[in-house]
């Protein structure tokens, strides 16, 4: 916002110096006002959800499941390749990414994966924020652990 104020201040000074610049200045202001920001921080929307853990024994049988505390959750803005922010889940497995703008997001946590490179794989959910001020409750991110 401060940059818009600075540009307007500069343009007003130019107008006072040269009245012929008025059409150019009006055009520049129209361009500034017409910019639409993409996904990311700086908005009024939020995404909340929970991470659900499934633990399996060596035979592949589910032995227990629960919402997991202190698990890292990551968010990617739009169709990027690297995460932009991370959050650790609360005692009840919940997370919250706040101050987001309209756009598409991917949220993920890492799950153990037997036979995968590095023995992990991301468990990803995709979310779209369609309007400012939205409070999105995401589906559970399900991750697995092998004992």
Same structural domain, 56 and 107: yes
pLDDT given at position 18: 59
Same structural domain, 62 and 101: yes
Same structural domain, 48 and 119: yes
How many domains does the chain fold into? 2
Which residues are paired to 123 by β-bridges?
109
Confidence check: pLDDT of 4 > 70: no
Q: If DSSP codes are grouped into helix, strand and coil, which group holds residue 95?
A: strand
Q: What predicted TM-score, i.e. pTM, was given to this entire model?
A: 0.74
H or E, element range at 129: strand 120-129
DSSP letters, 25-88, are: HHHHHHHHHT----SSEEEEEEEEEEEEEEEE-TTS-EEEEEEPSS-EEEEEETT-SS-SEEEE
Confidence check: pLDDT of 129 > 80: yes
- When the pLDDT of each residue in the chain is averaged and rounded to a whole number, the result is 85
Q: Considering Cα of 128, then 41, then 77, then 115, what sign does the dihedral take? A: negative
Same structural domain, 69 and 94: yes
pLDDT given at position 34: 55
Same structural domain, 56 and 118: yes
- Tokens representing 71 are 């698990």
Identify the residue with better confidence: 51 or 8. 51
Same structural domain, 64 and 108: yes
pLDDT given at position 41: 87
Same structural domain, 66 and 120: yes
Same structural domain, 72 and 122: yes
Which residues are paired to 52 by β-bridges?
67, 142
Confidence check: pLDDT of 2 > 50: no
H or E, element range at 143: strand 141-146
pLDDT tens for residues 32-68? 555 668 888 889 999 999 999 999 998 999 999 999 9
Same structural domain, 16 and 68: no
pLDDT given at position 80: 85
- Contact between residue 86 and residue 72 where contact means Cβ atoms under 8 Å apart: yes
Confidence check: pLDDT of 70 > 50: yes
């Amino acid at each position: 916002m401060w940059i818009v104020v600075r540009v307007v201040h500069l343009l007003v000074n130019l107008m006072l110096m040269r009245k012929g610049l008025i059409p150019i200045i009006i055009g520049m202001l129209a361009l500034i006002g017409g910019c639409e920001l993409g996904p990311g921080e700086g908005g009024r929307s939020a995404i909340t959800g929970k991470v659900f853990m499934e633990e399996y024994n060596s035979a592949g049988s589910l032995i227990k499941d629960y919402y997991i505390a202190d698990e890292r959750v990551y968010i990617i803005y739009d169709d990027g390749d690297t995460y932009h922010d991370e959050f650790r889940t609360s005692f009840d497995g919940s997370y919250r990414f706040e101050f987001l703008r309209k756009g598409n997001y991917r949220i993920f946590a890492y799950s153990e994966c037997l036979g995968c490179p590095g023995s992990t794989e991301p468990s990803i959910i995709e979310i779209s924020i369609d309007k400012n001020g939205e409070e999105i409750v995401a589906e559970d991110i399900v991750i697995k652990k092998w004992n």
